[in-house]
């Protein structure tokens, strides 16, 4: 899902009980998929891709992450506003090229990034989302390239972006792939660039898995360890204030 409801059984649910640590989860997924993460029946990425292929390419769809409707779209403006304040608080950030990674149908690209940056590339793995993003951004002078690709395998050009933007998408990457992506994102930054990562975080110190879409609800400690493994420094962090109380904490990180 997009925003994640806090589950009472977070950290003790069916899946997390099976795996004491996230490493055990990755080992298990690797075994059942026989090393093919794109297996649609049992691979970490395959299962998630099947799920996202069925989600409507709408603001409600990407925020609720639901194949049968939802109303998380009403939080879109609050999400955009607090992200804007966060980005503007990084005083030495450039305003040239940016890339929206795992962009869905382009709601953030259109309402947050296009007004702030001179050129905005869009990267998304689902073709129906990317096609809708092209239509949605058709009147935006700063819309750049529309790239059909996956975060774990797409190459990012070095020293190019003033902002690498990643919202509600890091949860779909394995730990190893998230570290690789972040390392690459760091290399793709200009001198004034930074990575903006906005993601659901567990309210307790226990991680959780949403078996519907294979979204991993990481703890803040897990994120900190992954940032460190990617050689990144946290420049700033903040919590989304206007957000439904029964949802997971939505955190924003600026990284370099
Ligand atoms: C919850 S939606 C968020 C979309 C957008 N970032 C937003 O905030 O509106 C997650 C998006 O990530 C995409 N996605 C999931 N796994 C991905 C991957 N491995 N590579 C690229 N995109 C991915 C999904 O197709 C979906 O469009």
Output the residue whose Cα is nearest ligand 1's atom 10: 169
Residue 41 backbone zone (phi > 0: left; psi -120 to 50: alpha; other: beta): alpha
Q: Residues enclosing ligand 1, CB less than 6 A?
A: 2, 48, 52, 62, 65, 102-104, 107-108, 124-126, 129, 150-152, 167-169, 172
Top mutation candidate among 60, 106, 125 for ligand 1, by most atoms within 8 Å of CB: 125
The verdict on residue 20 lying in a domain is no
pLDDT at residue number 121: 98
In the chain, the number of structural domains is: 1
Domain at 231, CATH number: 3.40.50.150
pLDDT at residue number 175: 96
Q: How far is the CA of 152 from the centre of ligand 1 (A)?
A: 12
Q: Residue for token digits 């994102």? A: 185
107 is in an annotated binding site: yes
Q: How far is the CA of 192 from the centre of ligand 1 (A)?
A: 26
* Residues 46 and 59: beta-carbon distance below 8 Å: no
Domain region containing 148: 70-255
The verdict on residue 240 lying in a domain is yes
Q: How far is the CA of 62 from the centre of ligand 1 (A)?
A: 8
pLDDT at residue number 153: 95
Q: How far is the CA of 234 from the centre of ligand 1 (A)?
A: 23
The verdict on residue 226 lying in a domain is yes
The verdict on residue 251 lying in a domain is yes
Q: How long is the chain? A: 256
pLDDT at residue number 17: 63
Output the residue whose Cα is nearest ligand 1's atom 20: 150
Q: How far is the CA of 63 from the centre of ligand 1 (A)?
A: 10
Q: For each of the chain's 256 residues, which pLDDT tens digit applies? A: 677 776 544 444 556 667 888 999 999 999 989 999 999 999 999 999 999 999 999 999 999 877 666 788 899 999 999 999 999 999 999 999 999 999 999 999 999 999 999 999 999 999 999 999 999 999 999 999 999 999 999 999 999 999 999 999 999 999 999 999 999 999 999 999 999 999 999 988 889 998 889 999 999 999 999 999 999 999 999 999 999 998 999 999 999 9
The verdict on residue 41 lying in a domain is no
pLDDT at residue number 234: 98
Output the residue whose Cα is nearest ligand 1's atom 4: 104
Extract the runs of DSSP E, i.e. beta strands, from the chain.
97-101, 119-124, 143-148, 161-167, 189-201, 208-210, 215-217, 234-239, 249-255
Per-residue exposure over 63-83, b if at least 16 CB sit within 10 Å of its own CB, e if not: bbbbeeebebbebbeebbebb
């Amino acid at each position: 899902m997009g925003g994640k409801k806090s589950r009472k059984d977070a950290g003790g649910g069916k899946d997390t009980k099976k795996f004491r640590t996230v490493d055990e989860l990755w080992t298990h997924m690797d075994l059942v998929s026989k090393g093919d993460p794109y297996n649609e029946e049992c691979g970490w990425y395959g299962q998630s891709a099947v799920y996202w292929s069925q989600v409507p390419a709408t603001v409600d769809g990407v925020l609720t992450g639901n194949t049968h409707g939802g109303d998380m779209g009403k939080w879109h403006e609050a999400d955009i506003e607090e992200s804007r304040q966060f980005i503007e608080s990084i005083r030495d950030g450039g305003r040239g090229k940016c890339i929206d990674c795992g962009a869905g149908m382009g709601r953030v690209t259109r309402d947050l990034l296009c007004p702030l940056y001179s050129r905005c590339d869009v990267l998304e793995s689902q073709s129906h989302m990317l096609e809708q993003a092209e239509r949605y951004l058709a009147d935006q002078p700063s819309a750049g390239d529309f790239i059909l690709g996956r975060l774990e395998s797409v190459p990012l050009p070095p020293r190019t972006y003033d902002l690498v933007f990643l919202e509600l998408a890091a949860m779909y990457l394995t730990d190893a792939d998230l570290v690789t992506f972040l390392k690459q994102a760091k290399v793709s930054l200009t001198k004034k660039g930074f990575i903006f990562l906005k993601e659901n975080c567990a309210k307790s110190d226990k991680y959780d898995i949403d078996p519907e879409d294979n979204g991993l609800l990481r703890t803040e400690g897990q994120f900190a360890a992954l940032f460190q493994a990617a050689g990144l420094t946290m420049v700033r962090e903040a919590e989304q204030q206007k957000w439904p109380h029964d949802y997971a904490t939505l955190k924003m990180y600026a990284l370099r």
